[in-house]
Every structure is written in structure tokens, then in C-alpha cells.
């Protein structure tokens, strides 16, 4: 059986969902036949391609759509939906964006062979908001690639130097600067820890601009202590995460929270929240804060900065926890779903 893949993820910006699709497609045992748009048209034209051109190119093959949307006319299809955020928090999204999903998802849920999602939390939410039995949604955890591992100190130091930081003297935070990622809490906690962390400790902010107004009117740390790295190539992330004092990731909503697992796989401590899927992924290897408590975030920063023993303990627990998430296991689970539902 050859499964066709809705490969819109091969064009346009490569966000977390697109990266998951790329990693999982590469891990699945062939044959897969990717159907890729001729260009990234963005907006409505991409949706028109997906709804009308893609079905015409299937030639009878079953379809896997790995990035939240798929052609409604194709019943012989598995669709991966990573989370229900657009329905749970429509205020975070543009009206046109949320209307597409509000109209499309119930139709896909009724028509396709199977929905897949990336955590038990998302399974519960999708079943509820789409009004379908929970067993119609199967869970396939994301994986952590082999590049995310503890690296030799000299390699970590070389990468860190390019970003103006020194191993063991900086924290990382990662994500687009938009409200759901809650980077304002990191910034406020960092400001409140100023003067109490060891001299020369930096905050390295990794990620695109997103909604830059998230910091407007909030507490801010000294520009000398904060480095806005912007977009960072995937190849640099393992060294930057592994060389840090910890990843600060107090997100308000995640379908999975891949940065948590990837940081742990690099041996870095993680501070996150218990919201949505994050405790499911972080387990007993993460430190948790209330998403609105800047004092708690400051306390975690100071605790991690001041205790090499704690960092070592969390690093070891994180490595063991991250081992649960592999692309090989995810690929095997997807292959089972293809056999069960598209075979």
C-alpha cells in the first residue's frame, strides 16, 4: 500500500508543526508519496490547492494530512490535528484563520477514517470540541531527533560564542513572541531576578517576532542581560539548549510541547507550567510554575542558577524522560494506523 502525503509542509515557513511532519515522514517506512504544491501561495490559494488540486492527484491512493487540515472531499484519509487551540482560544487567532478551522474540522471529523493527535490532553479536547468519541482520535507522541543530545563541551562553546553567550552562564527561552507562549512571564521573572543571579548571566531569547507587542507595558530586563537571537537554525539548537542553565518555557497552551522534550534530551533543566499537555510531557523531570506568577519564575531562575547539584539531578531525570519520545516509535504508531484505517 502506498500512502499519499499532503505535503503542503514542504513549502512556506517551517514552524513546529511543519518540522514534526518532516521528521515523521522521514521516519515512516516507505512507500510514501508526497504531493507538494508547485509554490507557496499562502492564504486562500493554498487552501484551494488542498481542497481541489490535491484530491485530483491522488490517483486512488489513501491520504495522510499531517498538518491540521486536509481535503474534505477525501474520505480515505487520516488527518493529524496537533491541538484544539483555535477552538479553545479563538481570541488568539485572526478571524479568517479561525473561521477556516471552525468550518473544516467538524466536516473532516465526520468524514475521514481517523484523526490523530500528539497527546492525551489534545485527544480529550478534540473529542469534546468536535463532538466525537474519544477512540476516534488516536494519540501518537512526537519524537526527539538524534541531534538533540548532550554534545562535547568544545562544540557547545563554539556555538554559544556565535550568539554572545558562555556555556553555564545563560538561560534560554524559546518560542514566537505571542501571547500563548507566555514569554512575558519569562521577561518579568528575569527582571525580578536582576542583581541576584551570578554576574554575567544572560537570557537568550530564541524565536521569531510573532506578536512583538506581548512585552508592551510589562516588566523588562536590562538589554545588556537579554539577547534576542531571533530565528535559530535547527542545527544550533542542541548546543544552545545543552549549554544553558535551563529552558524557561511557561507556555499557556501546547498540543505537545516539543521544546520541553528536546531540551531534556540535551541535558538541560526545564521550567514550564502544568497547563494543557506540558505536565504529560515533562513528567517528574520538569520544574513547574503558575503561568501568572512572576515571583515564582524569578525564584526558579535563582534556584537553578545557584545549584549545580539540582541542575545535574534535573538533567539526568530529563534525559531518562525524553527517551520516551522517539521518531521511530512515532513512525511505528503511524504505520499501524495506516494499516488499520487505510489498509
Which residue has 545563560 as its cell numbers? 170
- Is the pLDDT at 218 greater than 50? The verdict is no
207, pLDDT greater than 90: no
137 in Cβ contact with 124 (< 8 Å): no
For 9-64, write each residue's pLDDT tens digit: 999 877 889 999 999 999 999 889 999 999 887 788 989 999 999 999 999 999 99
Residue 196's pLDDT band, with cuts at 50, 70 and 90, is very high
Helix %, strand %, coil % of the chain (to 5): 50, 15, 40
Task: Quick: pLDDT tens for 146-179.
Answer: 999 999 999 999 999 999 999 999 999 998 768 8
Q: Please calculate the CA angle 97-103-105 and round it to the nearest 5 degrees.
A: 95
Residues 263 and 332 in one domain: no
Q: Which of 211, 205, 175, 179 is nearest to 190 (CA)?
A: 205
User: Both 107 and 157 in a single domain?
Assistant: no
Q: Which helix (H) or strand (E) holds 315?
A: helix 308-322
Is 148 part of any domain? no
84 and 126 assigned to the same domain: yes
pLDDT, residue 224, reads: 65
Alpha carbon distance 21, 27 (integer Å): 10
333 and 318: one domain? no
Shared domain check, 270 and 138: no
Distance CA 62, CA 58 (A): 7
Domain presence at residue 51: yes
Residue 11: its pLDDT value, please? 92
Short-list 134, 127, 111, 116, CA closest to 64: 116
Q: What is the number of domains present in the chain?
A: 2
Its domain, for residue 17, covers: 3-143+327-342
Conformation bin of residue 167: beta by default, left when phi > 0, alpha when psi is -120 to 50: beta
What digits encode the pLDDT tens for the residues 70-96?
999 999 999 999 999 999 999 999 999
Q: Dig out the grid coordinates for 47 from the structure.
A: 487552501
Arithmetic mean of pLDDT, 270-288: 98
Above 80 in pLDDT, residue 67? yes
Residues 230 and 317 in one domain: yes
**Same structural domain for residues 129 and 166?**
no
In the predicted model, what is the mean pLDDT of residues 186-213?
85
Residue corresponding to grid cell 544550533: 236
pLDDT (tens digit per residue) in 293-326: 999 999 999 999 999 999 999 999 999 999 999 9
Together in a domain, 314 and 172:
yes
Amino acid at each position: 500500500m502506498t500512502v499519499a502525503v499532503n505535503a503542503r509542509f514542504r513549502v512556506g515557513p517551517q514552524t513546529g508543526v511543519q518540522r514534526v511532519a518532516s521528521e515523521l515522514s522521514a521516519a515512516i517506512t516507505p512507500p510514501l508519496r508526497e504531493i507538494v504544491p508547485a509554490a507557496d501561495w499562502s492564504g486562500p490559494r493554498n487552501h484551494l490547492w488542498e481542497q481541489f488540486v490535491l484530491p485530483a492527484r491522488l490517483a486512488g491512493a489513501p491520504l495522510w494530512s499531517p498538518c491540521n487540515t486536509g481535503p474534505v472531499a477525501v474520505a480515505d484519509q487520516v488527518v493529524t490535528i496537533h491541538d484544539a487551540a483555535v477552538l479553545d482560544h479563538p481570541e488568539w487567532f485572526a478571524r479568517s484563520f479561525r473561521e477556516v478551522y471552525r468550518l473544516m474540522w467538524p466536516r473532516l471529523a465526520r468524514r475521514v477514517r481517523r484523526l490523530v493527535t500528539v497527546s492525551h490532553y489534545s485527544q480529550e479536547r478534540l473529542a469534546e470540541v468536535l463532538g466525537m468519541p474519544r477512540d476516534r482520535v488516536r494519540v501518537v507522541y512526537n519524537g526527539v531527533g538524534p541531534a538533540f543530545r548532550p554534545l562535547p563541551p568544545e562544540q557547545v562553546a563554539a556555538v554559544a560564542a556565535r550568539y554572545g553567550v558562555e556555556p553555564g552562564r545563560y538561560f534560554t527561552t524559546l518560542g514566537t513572541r505571542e501571547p500563548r507562549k507566555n514569554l512575558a512571564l519569562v521577561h518579568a521573572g528575569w527582571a525580578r531576578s536582576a542583581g541576584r543571579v551570578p554576574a554575567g548571566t544572560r537570557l537568550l531569547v530564541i524565536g521569531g517576532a510573532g506578536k512583538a507587542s506581548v512585552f508592551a507595558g510589562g516588566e523588562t530586563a536590562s538589554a545588556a542581560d537579554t539577547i534576542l537571537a531571533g530565528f535559530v537554525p535547527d542545527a544550533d539548537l542542541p548546543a544552545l539548549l545543552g549549554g544553558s542553565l535551563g529552558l524557561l518555557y511557561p507556555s499557556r497552551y501546547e498540543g505537545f510541547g516539543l521544546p520541553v522534550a528536546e531540551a531534556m534530551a540535551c541535558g538541560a533543566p526545564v521550567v514550564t507550567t502544568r497547563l494543557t499537555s506540558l505536565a504529560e510531557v515533562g513528567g517528574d523531570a520538569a520544574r513547574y510554575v503558575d503561568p501568572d506568577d512572576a515571583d515564582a519564575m524569578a525564584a526558579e531562575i535563582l534556584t537553578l542558577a545557584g545549584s549545580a547539584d539540582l541542575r545535574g539531578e534535573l538533567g539526568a531525570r530529563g534525559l531518562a524522560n525524553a527517551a520516551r519520545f522517539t521518531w521511530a516509535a512515532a513512525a511505528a504508531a503511524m504505520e499501524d494506523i495506516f494499516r488499520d484505517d487505510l489498509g
